[in-house]
Chains A and B, each alone.
Chain A
Amino acid sequence: MPLSPALSPLPFLRHILATLFLGLSALLAALPPNGATAQDAPLLRLTLGDEVITYDLAALQDMPATVFETTTIWTEGVQAFRGIRMTDFLARHGIEGGVVQLIAANDYAIEIPVDSFRPDGAILAYERNGRPMTLRSKGPLWLVYPYDSSSDFRSEVIYSNSIWQLDRIIVK
């Protein structure tokens, strides 16, 4: 790894500080206008035609979870992901065809045909290495594939589909 040891502790430290700040701000700051806490804040907004469904972390955690470990080209070392199987998620909402558009916090948007999802494929991860993901650590949601399980998941298309900082899904 070309990452120099002198630099490596820095992001970790910063991470902890950031978490502390978040916690502090949550505790100290006056209630936001919509009155939502960090826990309660909606992570995902699903637009299903005219209907808009929002999910907070708890709602996602209530759903059956899938866990796998894999390396990614964007991270270092094996990562443990926990999330909802994409096929399950789509089936739950009766989405059987068409295209879903996934949009990230930075407005990065991709469109994926519904029938290209496989039961052994992508999950909507909300936990990485046992911890919820923040915006700084590619949260709140990350569409990850089990890259190590098959070379099918190591193509450029799949990499492009692996959208992080996901917060909106629009079913078309």
Chain B
Amino acid sequence: MAPRGASKETQSGTGSEAPRASLDAGVLRLAVLAGITALCLVVIVYLLTEVRQKLDELASSPADNMQWSLAQLEVEYLKLQDATSRARLAKLTREPQDLTARGAGPGGSGDQGETQPLPSALRELRRRYDILYARFETLGTASLYNRALRHPAQGGTFDRIRTEVYALAPLIDGSDPALTEALAVLDVRLEDMRPDLRRMLSMANLRLVAQSDTARLDVQSVLKGLAAASLVLLGALTAMVVLFRSLARVSQKRLEQKRVASARLETIFSTSRDAILMLDSRGKIIDTNRAAAEMFAISPERVIGQPVGRLLRRDGTDGSTAISGRALFDACAVGPRTGYRLIARRCDGHRIPVELSMDSSDSQGAPILVCVIRDISHQVAADAELKASRDKALAAERAKARFLGVISHEMRTPLNGILGAIDLMAENDDPAEGRRFLEVVRGSAQTLLQLVNDVLDITQIEGGDVAIRRAPFDLDALIDDILASEMPRARAQDNRLARIGAGATGWVLGDATRLRQVLLNLVSNAVKFTRFGSISVEPRQQGDRMEILVRDTGIGMTMEEAGRVFDDFVRLDGAIRHQIQGTGLGLGIARQLARAMGGDIEVASAPGKGSVFTLSLPLPAASPPVEPPAPNTEPGPVQVSPQRILLVEDNATNRFVARRLLERDGHRVTEAADGREGVAAAAETAFDIILMDVSMPVMDGFEAAAAIRAGPGPNRSTRIVALTAHVGEEVTERLRAAGLDDVVAKPIRARVIRRLLADPDGVRGPSRRLTPPQEALGPVRRMGPPDDSSEG
């Protein structure tokens, strides 16, 4: 792997130092040997040429058989001498005429020459001379013999003898008598020259032998040189073979080392969980690993050659910008860099936060950049989550502070009314005035209760504890009911309150209780913030959805305020300025409930002109039930026969109030201060009804009720009604499970108790639905004539 090449070199440096050195030395030695070999080859080629030349010389001999030719000269010389001698003999035999001739003839001792007649002997003599002449001619003319015969050491003997022989020619060619006369002289002269000739030929022969010796030695020395050069060449070639082998071994070893290192790096490269990009000097991607392909969701083939800016971006103040290869190289100019936070843009458009570490390296002379990219989206997500939870905790802290501030303020206000009125009552004896003070106390107490109920509501809603129960109900009746309940307050504010819009909506399917709560909140708000104006309620049916518009001509609010009006514990300036009481929770609760029912509330408003709240809900039309329980809904003064009542309550004040309340209606009340006392009382006496507080010392309401139900006493099946400050569906269910028949939320109101007692079998009746908030709302709104008159 090229990019790690530099570091790898240093890693394996100690290991490869020795082989490298020996490799260099080996190459040097090889070069020397190659030089020697080349030199040897040159020498051998030269020597081969030489040998070839010598062989050519030997092959096509320019020379005759020289020794033979020289020897022939002497032979022919001797033959001429011989012929001369014979001729002289023939002359002698002819001189004694017949005697000699005759005697010689038969008495010839075998030699032909001796019987030869003179003319024949002379002819033979001449022939021999001619032959010798030709021989001298040949030897004298042919340059071949010059070196031997005319060598300075010979001192010109050859030419002298030749001249002398040639000088005999006129004599030989002369007449027979003249030649016959000169035979003796000829013989003497020939005899005189013979030793010289002999010596001359011996020397020439020596000369020739020396010549051929020299030639042979020449060839020998050339061959010796050739053999020596061949030996050196052989040695050099052998050394080269050995050296080559060792070099090959070293190279093989280095190759193996590199292969192992490369495989190791390749494994790291491909199994890394971090993406690795390699960039060339132009910032183009030249290689990636599998992790990169996964991170960028792009196949490695497609990413090769792309500029790095396609994948990596930087989020700055002016948006996201592509990273340039130049910038990366510049950053790495002084060394490796780590911890760059960038944005990786995946092929499918996703953006993931990454951390980049990089370094530049050298690959085959060109700089490359190795970028290791780590996906830090988990880390970033964890950071964000941490930050979010911190923010949330801070917000909760602020909300708590705000809650306490608002609650404290909103509680003090009615408490001020209550305590002030009580002080006045205590010092005033006028019964008429006392009644007015009582009204103030009750109003203030109701406000307090409202506050408590709101807080409870918001807690439940935010806890996701809102149960929506859908059932058919008459929307027209519900709207009329709300308008009727708000009418007194509207009149008190000099407002007109009316329903507008076309036609009746009829029966619909929905949660009437929740809708009533929401709509009542909107209408009462409208009434509260409007004076000398008008409030209208307009239902609009739109398919399965229903829009109910609540308009007012009140003080209105700005757009910014309209945005905050649904937040919890928000009280707008307008409300505070106009001394309008409230907890700042009403609209928040209304919107939460509307959303829980699958709808929403929106507001449009203008300061000084009024507001329009639009409640939209899914309220499909429904058919009315066959037998509407109309009579039950009519609340009226209830006459209850006196009953025996067991009151189990640990709080003395509450006990006192409840006892007085019940006794005033003619009931007989037995008190118990805790659950155990209650169980004991129930075991002794039979009661018509048992009112049971829930939270008590010693034994709580759950246990007590269960004990009464389980015990053998006379009240095993007596109706047990829980009185509790704990409200909520969950508590109600638990109480039911413990054997209690009904649940009444504190504070206990005379009206509620009366209705409870008047309806002894009303397990399925309205009392069943006396879940605190709604029922509590009812009386608040119904401060009007009917209840008040009966209260009085």
What is the interface of chain A, defined by CB distance below 8 A to chain B? 1-4, 7, 10-11, 14, 17-18, 21-22, 25, 73-76, 105-106, 108, 134-138, 151, 154-156, 159-160, 164-165
Cα-based distance from A32 to B144 in the complex (angstroms):
40
Q: Residue of B at shortest CB range from A153?
A: B60
Enumerate chain A residues within 8 angstroms of B138, measured Cβ to Cβ. 74, 138
What class of interface size applies to chain B in its complex with A?
A: 20 to 34
B131's partner among A4, A76, A165 (CB-CB below 8 A) is A165
Enumerate chain A residues within 8 angstroms of B494, measured Cβ to Cβ. none
Let me know if B22 is at the binding interface, CB within 8 A.
no
B133's partner among A2, A3, A22, A136 (CB-CB below 8 A) is A136
Given contacts A2-B147, A105-B127, 6 further A-B contacts (CB under 8 A): A3-B143, A11-B140, A21-B170, A25-B173, A74-B64, A106-B72
In the complex, are the beta carbons of A135 and B64 less than 8 A apart?
A: no
Cα-based distance from A160 to B140 in the complex (angstroms):
19
Enumerate chain B residues within 8 angstroms of A138, measured Cβ to Cβ. 134, 137-138
Enumerate chain A residues within 8 angstroms of B127, measured Cβ to Cβ. 105, 135
In the complex, are the beta carbons of A18 and B146 less than 8 A apart?
A: no
Interface string of B641-681 (1 = CB under 8 A from A): 00000000000000000000000000000000000000000
Distance in Å from the Cβ of A151 to the closest Cβ of chain B? 5
In the complex, are the beta carbons of B130 and A3 less than 8 A apart?
A: no
In the complex, are the beta carbons of B65 and A156 less than 8 A apart?
A: yes
B61's partner among A2, A18, A154 (CB-CB below 8 A) is A154
Let me know if B477 is at the binding interface, CB within 8 A.
no
Cα-based distance from A11 to B163 in the complex (angstroms):
9
Pick the most buried of A3, A17, A106, A137: most chain B CB atoms within 10 A of its CB: A106
In the complex, are the beta carbons of B142 and A74 less than 8 A apart?
A: yes
B146's partner among A3, A155, A156, A159 (CB-CB below 8 A) is A3
- A135 and B131 in contact, given A7-B163, A17-B169, A25-B173 (Cβ under 8 angstroms): yes
In the complex, are the beta carbons of A155 and B60 less than 8 A apart?
A: yes
Distance in Å from the Cβ of A30 to the closest Cβ of chain B? 10
Please name the 9 residue pairs, one residue from A and one from B, whose CB atoms are nearest each other, closest first: A21-B173, A2-B146, A135-B130, A136-B133, A74-B142, A159-B64, A106-B131, A154-B60, A156-B61
Cα-based distance from A159 to B66 in the complex (angstroms):
11
Let me know if B166 is at the binding interface, CB within 8 A.
yes
In the complex, are the beta carbons of A11 and B166 less than 8 A apart?
A: yes
Cα-based distance from A102 to B174 in the complex (angstroms):
31
Distance in Å from the Cβ of B680 to the closest Cβ of chain A? 160
Interface string of B164-175 (1 = CB under 8 A from A): 001001100111
Enumerate chain B residues within 8 angstroms of A4, measured Cβ to Cβ. 159
Enumerate chain B residues within 8 angstroms of A18, measured Cβ to Cβ. 169, 173
In the complex, are the beta carbons of A136 and B134 less than 8 A apart?
A: yes
In the complex, are the beta carbons of A11 and B64 less than 8 A apart?
A: no
B137's partner among A1, A105, A136, A156 (CB-CB below 8 A) is A136
Let me know if B62 is at the binding interface, CB within 8 A.
yes
Cα-based distance from A157 to B288 in the complex (angstroms):
87
In the complex, are the beta carbons of A1 and B61 less than 8 A apart?
A: no
Cα-based distance from A39 to B425 in the complex (angstroms):
205
Cα-based distance from A155 to B131 in the complex (angstroms):
25
Interface string of B130-155 (1 = CB under 8 A from A): 11011001101111101100100000
B62's partner among A21, A73, A134, A160 (CB-CB below 8 A) is A73
In the complex, are the beta carbons of A14 and B166 less than 8 A apart?
A: yes
Enumerate chain A residues within 8 angstroms of B141, measured Cβ to Cβ. 3, 11, 74-76
Pick the most buried of A135, A138, A160: most chain B CB atoms within 10 A of its CB: A135
Let me know if B334 is at the binding interface, CB within 8 A.
no
Let me know if B82 is at the binding interface, CB within 8 A.
no
Cα-based distance from A7 to B140 in the complex (angstroms):
10
Let me know if B76 is at the binding interface, CB within 8 A.
yes
Pick the most buried of A1, A7, A105: most chain B CB atoms within 10 A of its CB: A7
In the complex, are the beta carbons of B131 and A73 less than 8 A apart?
A: no
B63's partner among A2, A21, A75, A156 (CB-CB below 8 A) is A156
Cα-based distance from A75 to B144 in the complex (angstroms):
10
Can you name 24 A-B residue pairings with CB atoms under 8 Å?
Answer: A2-B147, A3-B140, A3-B141, A3-B146, A7-B162, A10-B163, A10-B166, A11-B137, A11-B141, A17-B169, A18-B173, A21-B169, A21-B174, A73-B62, A73-B63, A73-B64, A73-B144, A105-B131, A106-B76, A108-B72, A138-B137, A156-B65, A159-B61, A160-B64
Enumerate chain A residues within 8 angstroms of B62, measured Cβ to Cβ. 73, 154
Enumerate chain B residues within 8 angstroms of A160, measured Cβ to Cβ. 64-65
Q: Residue of B at shortest CB range from A33?
A: B119
In the complex, are the beta carbons of B147 and A136 less than 8 A apart?
A: no
Interface string of B73-85 (1 = CB under 8 A from A): 0001001000000
In the complex, are the beta carbons of B61 and A155 less than 8 A apart?
A: yes
Enumerate chain B residues within 8 angstroms of A108, measured Cβ to Cβ. 72
Cα-based distance from A149 to B76 in the complex (angstroms):
32
Distance in Å from the Cβ of B131 to the closest Cβ of chain A? 5
Enumerate chain B residues within 8 angstroms of A135, measured Cβ to Cβ. 127, 130-131, 133-134
- A2 and B143 in contact, given A106-B76, A155-B60 (Cβ under 8 angstroms): yes
Enumerate chain B residues within 8 angstroms of A151, measured Cβ to Cβ. 60
Cα-based distance from A135 to B737 in the complex (angstroms):
172
Q: Residue of A at shortest CB range from B163?
A: A10
- A137 and B134 in contact, given A3-B140, A14-B169, A154-B62 (Cβ under 8 angstroms): yes
Enumerate chain A residues within 8 angstroms of B174, measured Cβ to Cβ. 21
Cα-based distance from A129 to B163 in the complex (angstroms):
25
Cα-based distance from A156 to B72 in the complex (angstroms):
17
Distance in Å from the Cβ of A29 to the closest Cβ of chain B? 8
Enumerate chain B residues within 8 angstroms of A1, measured Cβ to Cβ. 143, 146
Q: Residue of A at shortest CB range from B62?
A: A73
Cα-based distance from A115 to B147 in the complex (angstroms):
37
B130's partner among A7, A25, A74, A136 (CB-CB below 8 A) is A136
Enumerate chain A residues within 8 angstroms of B173, measured Cβ to Cβ. 17-18, 21-22, 25
Cα-based distance from A14 to B150 in the complex (angstroms):
21
Cα-based distance from A123 to B140 in the complex (angstroms):
25
Enumerate chain A residues within 8 angstroms of B159, measured Cβ to Cβ. 4, 7
Pick the most buried of B137, B147, B175: most chain A CB atoms within 10 A of its CB: B137
In the complex, are the beta carbons of B130 and A134 less than 8 A apart?
A: yes
Cα-based distance from A71 to B610 in the complex (angstroms):
150
- A75 and B163 in contact, given A21-B174, A135-B130, A156-B64 (Cβ under 8 angstroms): no
Enumerate chain A residues within 8 angstroms of B79, measured Cβ to Cβ. 106
Distance in Å from the Cβ of B648 to the closest Cβ of chain A? 156
In the complex, are the beta carbons of B142 and A73 less than 8 A apart?
A: yes
Q: Residue of B at shortest CB range from A4?
A: B159
Enumerate chain B residues within 8 angstroms of A21, measured Cβ to Cβ. 169-170, 173-174
In the complex, are the beta carbons of A137 and B137 less than 8 A apart?
A: yes
Distance in Å from the Cβ of B347 to the closest Cβ of chain A? 88
Distance in Å from the Cβ of B471 to the closest Cβ of chain A? 139
Cα-based distance from A4 to B159 in the complex (angstroms):
10
Enumerate chain A residues within 8 angstroms of B72, measured Cβ to Cβ. 106, 108
Cα-based distance from A11 to B142 in the complex (angstroms):
14
Cα-based distance from A2 to B150 in the complex (angstroms):
8
Distance in Å from the Cβ of B132 to the closest Cβ of chain A? 9
Cα-based distance from A3 to B166 in the complex (angstroms):
16
Cα-based distance from A105 to B170 in the complex (angstroms):
22
Cα-based distance from A10 to B168 in the complex (angstroms):
13
Distance in Å from the Cβ of B208 to the closest Cβ of chain A? 14
Distance in Å from the Cβ of A128 to the closest Cβ of chain B? 12
Enumerate chain B residues within 8 angstroms of A164, measured Cβ to Cβ. 134
Cα-based distance from A34 to B137 in the complex (angstroms):
31
Cα-based distance from A113 to B140 in the complex (angstroms):
32
Enumerate chain A residues within 8 angstroms of B162, measured Cβ to Cβ. 7
B residues 147-201 in Cβ contact with A at 8 Å: 147, 150, 159, 162-163, 166, 169-170, 173-175
Distance in Å from the Cβ of A54 to the closest Cβ of chain B? 18
Distance in Å from the Cβ of A21 to the closest Cβ of chain B? 3
Cα-based distance from A2 to B144 in the complex (angstroms):
10
Enumerate chain B residues within 8 angstroms of A159, measured Cβ to Cβ. 61, 63-65
- A165 and B134 in contact, given A3-B140, A4-B159 (Cβ under 8 angstroms): yes
Distance in Å from the Cβ of B7 to the closest Cβ of chain A? 75
Cα-based distance from A137 to B133 in the complex (angstroms):
8
Cα-based distance from A105 to B143 in the complex (angstroms):
24
